[in-house]
Amino acid sequence: MTNPQPGWYPDGPGATSLRWWDGNQWTNQTQQAPPQQPRSDGSGWEIPLGQGPTDPNKIRDQQRRAGVGQAGQGGGTLFSEPVLVVNQKVKLIEMSNEYSVFDQHGRQIGSVAQVGQSALKKAVRFLGSYDQFFTHKLEVRDANHQTVLRLTRPAKFVKSRMIVERGDGTPVGEIVQQNVFGKIRFSFLAGGHEIGGIQAENWRAWNFAVLDHTGAEVARITKTFEGIAKTMFTTADNYVLQIHRQLQDPLISMVVASALTVDTALKQDSRGFG
Protein backbone atom coordinates (compact mmCIF):
# COMPACT_ATOMS: atom_id res chain seq x y z
CA MET A 1 0.00 0.00 0.00
CA THR A 2 1.19 3.52 -0.78
CA ASN A 3 1.52 6.18 1.91
CA PRO A 4 -1.25 8.80 2.18
CA GLN A 5 -0.78 12.08 0.39
CA PRO A 6 0.79 14.91 2.40
CA GLY A 7 -1.81 16.79 4.42
CA TRP A 8 -3.45 17.51 7.77
CA TYR A 9 -4.94 14.47 9.52
CA PRO A 10 -6.61 13.94 12.96
CA ASP A 11 -4.01 13.60 15.68
CA GLY A 12 -5.51 10.37 17.03
CA PRO A 13 -9.08 9.07 17.49
CA GLY A 14 -11.47 11.79 18.67
CA ALA A 15 -8.70 14.40 18.66
CA THR A 16 -9.58 18.07 18.21
CA SER A 17 -6.14 18.82 16.67
CA LEU A 18 -4.61 17.98 13.32
CA ARG A 19 -1.03 16.83 12.60
CA TRP A 20 0.87 17.28 9.33
CA TRP A 21 1.85 14.14 7.40
CA ASP A 22 4.63 14.96 4.93
CA GLY A 23 4.04 11.90 2.81
CA ASN A 24 6.56 9.73 4.65
CA GLN A 25 6.26 10.51 8.35
CA TRP A 26 4.40 12.53 10.98
CA THR A 27 5.93 15.94 11.70
CA ASN A 28 5.83 18.15 14.81
CA GLN A 29 3.42 20.58 13.11
CA THR A 30 -0.08 20.64 14.61
CA GLN A 31 -3.12 22.87 14.41
CA GLN A 32 -6.68 22.93 15.77
CA ALA A 33 -9.27 21.14 13.70
CA PRO A 34 -11.97 23.44 12.30
CA PRO A 35 -15.24 23.26 14.26
CA GLN A 36 -17.69 20.78 12.82
CA GLN A 37 -20.98 22.17 11.57
CA PRO A 38 -23.64 20.89 13.98
CA ARG A 39 -26.06 18.52 12.30
CA SER A 40 -29.71 19.37 11.87
CA ASP A 41 -32.72 18.12 9.97
CA GLY A 42 -33.11 21.48 8.26
CA SER A 43 -34.08 21.19 4.60
CA GLY A 44 -33.70 23.40 1.55
CA TRP A 45 -37.44 22.98 1.00
CA GLU A 46 -38.23 24.86 4.19
CA ILE A 47 -39.12 28.53 3.78
CA PRO A 48 -37.90 30.74 6.65
CA LEU A 49 -39.88 33.82 7.61
CA GLY A 50 -37.33 36.47 8.50
CA GLN A 51 -34.04 35.96 10.27
CA GLY A 52 -35.25 35.73 13.83
CA PRO A 53 -34.73 38.16 16.73
CA THR A 54 -30.95 38.50 16.94
CA ASP A 55 -31.07 42.07 18.31
CA PRO A 56 -30.46 41.97 22.10
CA ASN A 57 -33.08 44.71 22.54
CA LYS A 58 -35.70 42.46 20.89
CA ILE A 59 -34.74 39.58 23.16
CA ARG A 60 -35.10 41.80 26.22
CA ASP A 61 -38.43 43.09 24.88
CA GLN A 62 -39.67 39.51 24.61
CA GLN A 63 -38.65 38.98 28.20
CA ARG A 64 -40.60 42.07 29.26
CA ARG A 65 -43.70 40.89 27.38
CA ALA A 66 -43.50 37.69 29.41
CA GLY A 67 -43.57 39.78 32.57
CA VAL A 68 -40.04 38.74 33.56
CA GLY A 69 -37.73 41.44 34.92
CA GLN A 70 -33.96 41.48 35.13
CA ALA A 71 -32.70 38.69 37.37
CA GLY A 72 -29.43 38.17 39.20
CA GLN A 73 -26.15 37.48 37.46
CA GLY A 74 -25.94 34.01 35.90
CA GLY A 75 -23.09 31.72 35.03
CA GLY A 76 -23.37 32.09 31.26
CA THR A 77 -24.58 28.56 30.49
CA LEU A 78 -27.91 26.89 29.80
CA PHE A 79 -27.87 25.42 33.33
CA SER A 80 -26.69 28.46 35.28
CA GLU A 81 -28.68 31.42 33.89
CA PRO A 82 -31.79 32.56 35.81
CA VAL A 83 -33.60 33.48 32.58
CA LEU A 84 -33.63 31.69 29.22
CA VAL A 85 -35.37 33.25 26.21
CA VAL A 86 -36.32 30.57 23.68
CA ASN A 87 -37.10 31.48 20.07
CA GLN A 88 -38.27 28.98 17.49
CA LYS A 89 -36.95 29.52 13.97
CA VAL A 90 -39.97 30.76 12.02
CA LYS A 91 -40.78 28.95 8.75
CA LEU A 92 -43.77 29.08 6.43
CA ILE A 93 -42.90 25.52 5.39
CA GLU A 94 -41.48 23.51 8.28
CA MET A 95 -40.10 19.98 8.27
CA SER A 96 -37.82 20.27 11.29
CA ASN A 97 -37.84 22.26 14.52
CA GLU A 98 -35.00 24.60 15.40
CA TYR A 99 -34.64 26.95 18.37
CA SER A 100 -32.18 29.59 19.55
CA VAL A 101 -31.68 30.19 23.28
CA PHE A 102 -30.59 33.55 24.70
CA ASP A 103 -29.79 34.86 28.17
CA GLN A 104 -31.52 37.90 29.67
CA HIS A 105 -28.95 40.21 28.03
CA GLY A 106 -29.69 38.96 24.52
CA ARG A 107 -26.58 36.79 24.15
CA GLN A 108 -27.11 33.44 22.45
CA ILE A 109 -25.97 30.68 24.81
CA GLY A 110 -27.48 27.61 23.17
CA SER A 111 -29.70 26.04 20.56
CA VAL A 112 -32.02 23.10 19.97
CA ALA A 113 -32.12 21.10 16.73
CA GLN A 114 -34.29 18.22 15.59
CA VAL A 115 -32.24 15.30 14.27
CA GLY A 116 -32.69 11.82 12.88
CA GLN A 117 -35.72 12.31 10.65
CA SER A 118 -35.93 10.15 7.55
CA ALA A 119 -36.83 11.58 4.15
CA LEU A 120 -40.18 9.77 4.37
CA LYS A 121 -40.97 11.32 7.73
CA LYS A 122 -40.18 14.81 6.39
CA ALA A 123 -42.42 14.19 3.39
CA VAL A 124 -45.32 13.04 5.57
CA ARG A 125 -44.81 16.00 7.88
CA PHE A 126 -44.85 18.35 4.90
CA LEU A 127 -48.16 16.92 3.69
CA GLY A 128 -50.02 17.05 6.99
CA SER A 129 -50.00 17.44 10.78
CA TYR A 130 -49.02 13.93 11.80
CA ASP A 131 -46.16 14.81 14.16
CA GLN A 132 -47.65 13.07 17.18
CA PHE A 133 -47.46 9.68 15.43
CA PHE A 134 -43.66 9.88 14.99
CA THR A 135 -40.71 9.57 17.31
CA HIS A 136 -38.89 12.90 17.70
CA LYS A 137 -35.23 13.35 18.61
CA LEU A 138 -33.72 16.67 19.60
CA GLU A 139 -30.27 17.82 20.65
CA VAL A 140 -29.74 20.67 23.09
CA ARG A 141 -26.40 22.36 22.39
CA ASP A 142 -24.34 24.92 24.26
CA ALA A 143 -22.74 28.06 22.82
CA ASN A 144 -19.85 25.95 21.46
CA HIS A 145 -22.26 23.64 19.58
CA GLN A 146 -21.52 20.78 21.98
CA THR A 147 -24.51 18.53 22.71
CA VAL A 148 -25.37 18.76 26.42
CA LEU A 149 -28.77 17.01 26.37
CA ARG A 150 -30.35 14.43 24.06
CA LEU A 151 -34.13 14.29 24.07
CA THR A 152 -36.35 11.57 22.61
CA ARG A 153 -40.12 11.82 22.46
CA PRO A 154 -41.48 8.40 21.40
CA ALA A 155 -44.48 8.29 19.09
CA LYS A 156 -47.55 9.16 21.16
CA PHE A 157 -51.09 7.85 21.07
CA VAL A 158 -52.84 9.74 23.85
CA LYS A 159 -50.23 10.79 26.39
CA SER A 160 -46.76 12.13 25.66
CA ARG A 161 -43.46 11.41 27.35
CA MET A 162 -39.89 12.52 26.73
CA ILE A 163 -36.68 10.64 27.55
CA VAL A 164 -33.87 12.91 28.74
CA GLU A 165 -30.19 11.95 28.42
CA ARG A 166 -26.95 13.82 28.80
CA GLY A 167 -24.82 14.56 25.77
CA ASP A 168 -22.87 11.32 26.22
CA GLY A 169 -26.07 9.27 26.40
CA THR A 170 -26.14 8.88 30.19
CA PRO A 171 -29.79 8.69 31.39
CA VAL A 172 -31.22 11.65 33.31
CA GLY A 173 -34.91 10.76 33.52
CA GLU A 174 -38.28 11.11 31.81
CA ILE A 175 -40.94 13.80 31.48
CA VAL A 176 -44.28 11.97 31.53
CA GLN A 177 -47.76 13.36 30.77
CA GLN A 178 -50.17 12.58 33.60
CA ASN A 179 -53.57 13.53 32.18
CA VAL A 180 -55.37 14.29 28.92
CA PHE A 181 -58.24 16.62 29.87
CA GLY A 182 -58.18 19.88 31.77
CA LYS A 183 -54.95 21.54 32.87
CA ILE A 184 -52.19 19.29 31.57
CA ARG A 185 -49.60 18.02 34.03
CA PHE A 186 -46.21 16.39 33.42
CA SER A 187 -44.06 14.66 36.02
CA PHE A 188 -40.27 14.63 36.15
CA LEU A 189 -39.10 11.09 36.91
CA ALA A 190 -35.47 10.28 37.76
CA GLY A 191 -34.18 7.01 39.16
CA GLY A 192 -37.74 5.78 39.63
CA HIS A 193 -38.72 8.78 41.77
CA GLU A 194 -40.83 11.85 41.02
CA ILE A 195 -38.61 14.91 41.51
CA GLY A 196 -40.97 17.58 40.17
CA GLY A 197 -43.03 18.47 37.14
CA ILE A 198 -44.80 21.12 35.12
CA GLN A 199 -48.41 22.26 35.45
CA ALA A 200 -50.27 24.09 32.68
CA GLU A 201 -52.08 27.17 33.95
CA ASN A 202 -55.04 26.74 31.59
CA TRP A 203 -56.49 24.15 29.22
CA ARG A 204 -54.66 25.66 26.23
CA ALA A 205 -51.40 24.94 28.05
CA TRP A 206 -49.55 28.04 26.94
CA ASN A 207 -47.97 28.87 30.30
CA PHE A 208 -46.55 26.46 32.86
CA ALA A 209 -45.58 26.48 36.52
CA VAL A 210 -42.50 24.32 37.13
CA LEU A 211 -42.58 22.49 40.47
CA ASP A 212 -40.18 20.56 42.67
CA HIS A 213 -41.02 17.31 44.47
CA THR A 214 -42.85 19.20 47.25
CA GLY A 215 -45.12 21.03 44.80
CA ALA A 216 -43.36 24.36 45.33
CA GLU A 217 -42.89 26.52 42.22
CA VAL A 218 -39.20 26.73 41.28
CA ALA A 219 -39.54 28.16 37.76
CA ARG A 220 -42.07 29.41 35.23
CA ILE A 221 -42.44 28.95 31.46
CA THR A 222 -44.29 31.81 29.76
CA LYS A 223 -45.29 31.92 26.10
CA THR A 224 -44.89 35.29 24.39
CA PHE A 225 -47.01 36.61 21.54
CA GLU A 226 -45.27 36.15 18.17
CA GLY A 227 -47.19 38.77 16.19
CA ILE A 228 -50.21 38.50 13.92
CA ALA A 229 -48.34 37.27 10.80
CA LYS A 230 -46.47 34.54 12.62
CA THR A 231 -49.51 33.43 14.60
CA MET A 232 -51.75 33.15 11.54
CA PHE A 233 -49.35 31.56 9.08
CA THR A 234 -46.82 29.59 11.13
CA THR A 235 -46.69 27.33 14.19
CA ALA A 236 -43.60 28.95 15.72
CA ASP A 237 -43.66 29.69 19.43
CA ASN A 238 -41.45 31.71 21.73
CA TYR A 239 -41.01 31.11 25.46
CA VAL A 240 -39.28 32.63 28.45
CA LEU A 241 -38.05 30.41 31.29
CA GLN A 242 -37.55 32.12 34.64
CA ILE A 243 -35.83 30.05 37.33
CA HIS A 244 -36.59 31.36 40.81
CA ARG A 245 -33.65 29.82 42.65
CA GLN A 246 -30.55 27.75 42.03
CA LEU A 247 -31.42 24.12 41.28
CA GLN A 248 -29.32 20.99 41.45
CA ASP A 249 -29.12 18.10 39.03
CA PRO A 250 -31.08 16.18 37.92
CA LEU A 251 -33.87 18.73 38.50
CA ILE A 252 -32.13 21.58 36.65
CA SER A 253 -31.57 19.34 33.60
CA MET A 254 -35.23 18.33 33.59
CA VAL A 255 -36.37 21.95 33.95
CA VAL A 256 -34.17 23.12 31.07
CA ALA A 257 -35.19 20.13 28.91
CA SER A 258 -38.90 20.81 29.46
CA ALA A 259 -38.59 24.53 28.75
CA LEU A 260 -36.51 24.19 25.59
CA THR A 261 -38.78 21.57 24.04
CA VAL A 262 -42.21 22.32 25.50
CA ASP A 263 -43.53 23.22 22.05
CA THR A 264 -41.90 20.52 19.92
CA ALA A 265 -41.83 17.58 22.27
CA LEU A 266 -44.65 18.23 24.74
CA LYS A 267 -47.16 20.64 23.21
CA GLN A 268 -47.40 19.53 19.62
CA ASP A 269 -51.00 18.93 18.70
CA SER A 270 -52.53 21.88 16.83
CA ARG A 271 -51.02 24.53 19.15
CA GLY A 272 -52.56 22.93 22.23
CA PHE A 273 -53.14 19.65 24.02
CA GLY A 274 -55.99 17.28 23.59
Instruction: Give pLDDT, residue 229.
Output: 40
Instruction: Give pLDDT, residue 274.
Output: 35
Q: The domain that contains 165 carries what CATH number?
A: 2.40.160.200
User: Between 234 and 247, where is the model more confident?
Assistant: 247
- Tens of pLDDT, residue by residue over 22-51, are 878 888 888 776 655 555 545 444 444 454
Give the residue numbers spanning the domain of 6: 1-34
Q: Are residues 77 and 29 in the same domain?
A: no
- Is residue 188 a contact partner of residue 197, using CB atoms and an 8 Å limit? yes
User: Between 69 and 39, where is the model more confident?
Assistant: 69
CA 106 from chain center: how many Å?
Answer: 17
Mean pLDDT on 121-147? 71
273 found inside a domain: no
> What's the N-to-C CA distance of the chain in angstroms?
63
User: Between 131 and 82, where is the model more confident?
Assistant: 82
Res 171 pLDDT > 50: yes
The Cα angle at residue 171 between residues 170 and 174, in degrees rounded to 5 = 155
Instruction: Give pLDDT, residue 24.
Output: 84
**Which percentage of the chain shows pLDDT scores above 70?**
67
Q: From CA 178, how far away is CA 191, in angstroms rounded?
A: 18
Q: Are residues 124 and 231 in the same domain?
A: yes
106 found inside a domain: yes
Name the pTM for this structure.
0.70
Q: Are residues 226 and 159 in the same domain?
A: yes
Average pLDDT, rounded, for the chain? 76
Q: Are residues 5 and 51 in the same domain?
A: no
272 found inside a domain: no
143 found inside a domain: yes
Q: Are residues 108 and 162 in the same domain?
A: yes
Q: Are residues 116 and 239 in the same domain?
A: yes
39 found inside a domain: no
Q: Are residues 25 and 54 in the same domain?
A: no
Tally of structural domains, the chain: 2
User: Between 238 and 266, where is the model more confident?
Assistant: 238
Q: Are residues 228 and 98 in the same domain?
A: yes
- Tens of pLDDT, residue by residue over 207-244, are 899 999 999 999 999 887 554 344 433 345 688 999 99
Q: Are residues 70 and 27 in the same domain?
A: no
- Is residue 117 a contact partner of residue 90, using CB atoms and an 8 Å limit? no
40 found inside a domain: no
Q: Are residues 21 and 62 in the same domain?
A: no
Mean pLDDT on 79-105? 77
166 found inside a domain: yes
Res 12 pLDDT > 60: yes
Q: Are residues 143 and 15 in the same domain?
A: no
241 found inside a domain: yes
Instruction: Give pLDDT, residue 270.
Output: 42
Q: Are residues 137 and 30 in the same domain?
A: no
Instruction: Give pLDDT, residue 46.
Output: 43
